[in-house]
Amino acid sequence: MKIDKENLKNEKKDLYSHLWEHTELPFEVIKKGEKDPSYEFSFGGKDLKTLVGTCIARNFGIEKNPELETFLEKFIMACSGSGDEIQKITTMHSSSLCSLLFFFNVNETHPLEIDGCRYTESVFEFKNKVIGYPSNVDVVLLGKNGEGKNVILFLESKFSEFITGVTKAGKNFEIGKSYFKNEPSASIYKELFDKEILTKKDENHVSSGEQRYIEGIKQMISHYYGVRNFIGGDYYDKENEIQKNVIDYSKENDCKILLGTILFDNLCEKQKEVYLNPYTEDYEKLAEIINRNAVEDGKSNFKMLGKPLKYSDFRNLVSGLPEVEKYYFGNLGRG
């Protein structure tokens, strides 16, 4: 079926139009929401994660794939985060769905190479201890670097959030005041204020002199806070089997810890210029600050990736899943 973009508002309309206006989707989708509608996959029984996972596997041609069992296992994992993950992952522009479809099949047979590291295992919605609620990292990749040392990459996935979630110039954005008082976040925010990237308005609000994806900056700082706790042995849940496997891996073979983000970049030129490029620049500035903070605190086994990863650079991961590749990149074949 085709999407009726006229049901959508503002930037979401441009995003859906760019990706799916001329695509005949091989499955049913329905409009959800009234004030700011989106589209989601159509099926029943949302209380049963395995049923929803099976429907999504069928939609994207994974139902008869030898890796179906792995997909369903990782799907349940991806729906284990804080909040209504089952609702989020069924939305067409879901960032958690995108990361799941790209990374569920990373293994010894299908390894992933990034910056000289070879990853052979993926985990979804990993929880790190921060202040209050845990930090839920979309994807965690386990592998080894060129020296044979263990490497763990904590990766935040973004599909449209840096487009639809920007904070307008001068508008206040709420941040828990504890992040301004506790290290390592306090020093990082102070440098962001000193560099006039953000302005502190009061004890729990910031703003910016220009439109900015502040939520993304805040989230990466929270993830750094959580990863620092992880490195220090202060875990959110060390009894959970999935969490324990990652924790155990981090204690072996002089493990290196990396933090980064991956951004969906098959966008129209306007959205690249207005949203993708500015957030990329902000991320790079933040990475410099965080890496300097880690060095000053003696965290030699930690590094934040200096640049965001882009989904287009990992198109090969879904080249064996034609329905997935068509869904995210099918418009690139048109003139």
Helix, strand, coil percentages in the chain from 3-state DSSP, rounded to 5: 45, 20, 35
Structure-token pair, residue 233: 């042995």
pTM of the model: 0.93
Angle at which helix 95-103 crosses helix 68-78, to 10 degrees, equals: 150
N residues, the chain: 335
Q: Terminal CA-to-CA distance of the chain, rounded, Å? A: 22
| Residue 334, pLDDT score | 47
CA distance 112 to 67: 16
| Residue 57, pLDDT score | 93
| Residue 275, pLDDT score | 98
Q: Which of 107, 288, 316 is nearest to 197 (CA)?
A: 288
Burial category of 222 from C-beta neighbours within 10 Å (exposed 0-12, middle 13-18, buried 19 and up): buried
Per-residue pLDDT of the chain (335 residues; tens, 9 = 90+): 567 777 788 889 899 989 998 778 888 888 888 888 888 887 655 445 667 888 899 999 998 888 899 999 999 999 876 556 677 888 999 999 999 999 999 999 999 999 999 999 999 999 999 998 899 999 999 999 999 999 999 999 999 999 999 999 999 999 999 999 999 999 999 999 999 999 999 999 999 999 999 999 999 999 999 999 999 999 998 888 889 999 999 999 899 999 999 999 999 999 999 999 999 999 999 999 999 999 999 988 999 999 999 999 999 999 999 999 999 998 886 44
| Residue 335, pLDDT score | 40
| Residue 67, pLDDT score | 87
CA distance 320 to 71: 14
Tokens 């307008």 belong to which residue?
168
- Phi and psi of 232, rounded to 5°? -80, 0
